Amino acid sequence: MDQINEIADEDDKKETVSHMKNAAISDDFEQLPVDENVTLHCKVEVFSLSAIDTQHNNFTAAMYIQIRSKELRLASMDSLSVEILNLQSTDRQQSFTSRGDDGTVEKHIIIYGVWAAHFDLKAFPADVQTLEVRLECWNYKINKAYRL
């Protein structure tokens, strides 16, 4: 987390990842069926160089994924797999898991160098009904989130 300190948008405004982490997830969710083999598919395209990759000291495209659930234990969320398919650029990733004050478990994934990606979320328990996913590309917001 300390390695990723800031991002910059085209207006040269800066936000911290912790600010993005604490941002509320939109109430506009797409309802998805839940069964044992449910997989969430989403295609995201990034159109501009917008994030500061402090680990590699350069500007790069980046996608931010936030996954939340009140029903998953921290260890279960930590082991949640995110499979990135068809990357058109590099596939450097960083992720961390945290627990909010209200007991919500969150997983945050930052993928650097992504111009377009089709990814699947897999391997979470079938009894989880409230998995929430937020997608953001820095400098290009994805106005869609998914709730199972």
Give residue 94's pLDDT.
74
Name which of 121, 145, 110, 148 is nearest 3 in CA terms. 110
Number of domains in the chain: 1
Comparison of pLDDT for 14 and 125, the residue scoring more: 125
Residue range 56-73, pLDDT digits in tens? 544 455 666 667 666 666
* Token reading at 66: 């936030």
**Residue 62 placed within a domain:** yes
Q: What is the mean pLDDT of residues 19-24?
A: 36
Say if 22 falls within a structural domain.
yes
> What Å distances lie between residue 33 and 122, 130, 132, 147, CA to CA?
14, 11, 13, 9
Mean pLDDT in residue range 97-125: 64
Q: pLDDT at residue 105 above 60? A: yes
Average pLDDT, the chain: 51
In a domain? residue 1: no
| pLDDT at residue 23 tops 60 | no
99 pLDDT higher than 70: yes
Q: What is the pLDDT of residue 104?
A: 75
Q: What is the pLDDT of residue 101?
A: 78
Q: Two tokens at 88?
A: 């058109």
Which residues 6+ apart lie within 8 Å of 81 measured at CB? 121, 122, 123
Q: Looking at residue 79, what is its pLDDT? A: 67
In a domain, 108, yes or no: yes
68 in a structural domain: yes
This model's pTM is above 0.75: no
Q: Is residue 57 part of a domain?
A: yes
